[in-house]
């Protein structure tokens, strides 16, 4: 039997890609290494960001991306509903500025942050640690992973992959994974 990209379906198309985003999956692989935000953490971080100074939703996205060294960029589908939730809870208020919504923390929002200060500080420390760890390793690691991804896609796209060739590729990948685990 010969194999080509059609036999591997979504796996071949999505190897290393992002499908079905959630709050934790926009981290370019960080979700596989461990979640950066536990349930409710992102809400607290966003509240802290708008407590620093009022921000547009896009500015919140950029601030989160910057905080994580570019490893996490939440989608607008995560940010805007969370900002709306903060507003509904009375923790944030919104003003229109140049046709855009500007979100800021209310007194109740600042009080909530102060009440949860140890948790907020722990979250920010964890994010800083994550960003420091990721920034030194990520670019080289991502380049190597992209090289593997490209090589596999090209090989699958060529078609005519025999059982022997497939077995050789699988063995090479398994051997590489074992070598990585040993280091």
Q: How far apart are CA 60 and CA 166, in angstroms?
A: 45
The answer to whether residue 1 scores a pLDDT higher than 80 is no
Q: Dump pLDDT digits (tens) for 95-122.
A: 998 889 999 999 999 999 999 999 999 9
Q: For residue 15, name the pLDDT band (cuts at 50, 70, 90).
A: very low
pTM for this entry: 0.58
Q: What pairs with residue 95 in β-bridges?
A: 102
Q: Dump pLDDT digits (tens) for 119-133.
A: 999 999 988 888 777
With beta carbons less than 8 A apart as the criterion, state whether 100 and 56 touch.
Answer: yes
Q: How far apart are CA 8 and CA 6, in angstroms?
A: 5
Q: How far apart are CA 61 and CA 75, in angstroms?
A: 8
pLDDT of residue 139: 67
Q: How far apart are CA 138 and CA 179, in angstroms?
A: 19
Largest CA distance in the chain: 68
The answer to whether residue 181 scores a pLDDT higher than 50 is yes
């Amino acid at each position: 039997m010969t194999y080509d990209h059609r036999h591997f379906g979504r796996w071949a198309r999505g190897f290393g890609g992002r499908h079905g985003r959630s709050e934790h999956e926009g981290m370019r692989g960080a979700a596989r290494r461990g979640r950066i935000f536990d349930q409710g953490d992102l809400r607290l971080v966003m509240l802290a960001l708008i407590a620093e100074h009022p921000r547009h939703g896009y500015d919140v996205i950029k601030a989160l991306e910057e905080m994580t060294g570019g490893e996490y960029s939440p989608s607008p589908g995560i940010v805007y509903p969370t900002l709306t939730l903060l507003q509904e809870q009375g923790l944030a208020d919104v003003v229109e500025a140049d046709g855009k919504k500007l979100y800021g923390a209310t007194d109740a929002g600042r009080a909530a942050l102060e009440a949860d200060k140890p948790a907020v500080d722990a979250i920010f420390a964890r994010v800083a640690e994550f960003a420091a760890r990721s920034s030194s390793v990520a670019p080289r690691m991502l380049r190597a992973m992209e090289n593997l991804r490209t090589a596999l896609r090209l090989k699958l796209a060529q078609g005519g992959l025999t059982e022997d060739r497939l077995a050789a590729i699988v063995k090479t990948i398994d051997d590489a994974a074992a070598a990585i685990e040993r280091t």
